[in-house]
C-alpha cells in the first residue's frame, strides 16, 4: 500500500472551490500546508508552476496529477481534490479536470516519487474508478475507495 502513506483521509478535499488551475494550486497547497505546516508555500507554488510550464499534468479525461520537488518538503506529501463542476486546467485532452492528485516531494525523493506516480497511474486506469471517486460524498468514502481499489490492483 503506497498511496495511503501519502494521501490521508484528512488530505482529501471534497468540493474544490477553484475553477482555474492557478486557484487550484493555491487551494490545494493551502490544504496540504494546514496538515504539514513546515514547508515554504511560495517555494512549492513556484515549483508546481515551473513543472506545469514544461507540460500539462492534466493527463487523462478528468484527472490531473500536479507534482513537484521542493527543498522545504520533508519526505513525500500530497492531497486529493475532487470537483463536481470541473476545473479549467489546460489538460492534454482539453477536458475539464474533476480529480486532482497533488504530490509534493523533498529533494532526494525521486525513487519514492516515481513509485507513487506509478501506483496512481494503475489506480486511475481502473475502469470506473474516477467516476466513483467524483461521486464520493465524504472524505471517508473517498479514502476507503482509494484504499480498496489500490488493494485490488
Contact 32, 77 (CB under 8 A): yes
Alpha-carbon distance 131 to 98, whole Å?
A: 9
What pTM does this model have? Answer: 0.95
Alpha-carbon distance 17 to 105, whole Å?
A: 25
Task: Share the mean pLDDT of the chain.
Answer: 92
pLDDT given for residue 1 in this prediction: 63
Q: What is the dihedral of CA 61, 52, 41, 6, to 10 degrees?
A: 50
* 88 DSSP 8-state letter: B
Four-residue CA torsion sign, 130, 132, 135, 139: negative
- Please, which pLDDT band fits residue 2 given cuts at 50, 70 and 90? confident
pLDDT tens for each residue of 93-139: 888 999 999 999 999 888 988 999 999 999 999 999 999 999 999 99
Amino acid at each position: 500500500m503506497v498511496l495511503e502513506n501519502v494521501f490521508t483521509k484528512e488530505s482529501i478535499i471534497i468540493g474544490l472551490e477553484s475553477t482555474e488551475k492557478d486557484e487550484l494550486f493555491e487551494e490545494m497547497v493551502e490544504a496540504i500546508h494546514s496538515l504539514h505546516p513546515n514547508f515554504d508555500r511560495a517555494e512549492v507554488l513556484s515549483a508546481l508552476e515551473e513543472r506545469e510550464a514544461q507540460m500539462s499534468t492534466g493527463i487523462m479525461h478528468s484527472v490531473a496529477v500536479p507534482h513537484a520537488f521542493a527543498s522545504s518538503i520533508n519526505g513525500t506529501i500530497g492531497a486529493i481534490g475532487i470537483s463536481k463542476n470541473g476545473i479549467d486546467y489546460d489538460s492534454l485532452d482539453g477536458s475539464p479536470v474533476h480529480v486532482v492528485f497533488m504530490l509534493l516531494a523533498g529533494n532526494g525523493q525521486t525513487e519514492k516519487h516515481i513509485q507513487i506516480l506509478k501506483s496512481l497511474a494503475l489506480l486511475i486506469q481502473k475502469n470506473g474508478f474516477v467516476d466513483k471517486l467524483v461521486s464520493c460524498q465524504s472524505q471517508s468514502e473517498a479514502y476507503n475507495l482509494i484504499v480498496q481499489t489500490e488493494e485490488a490492483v
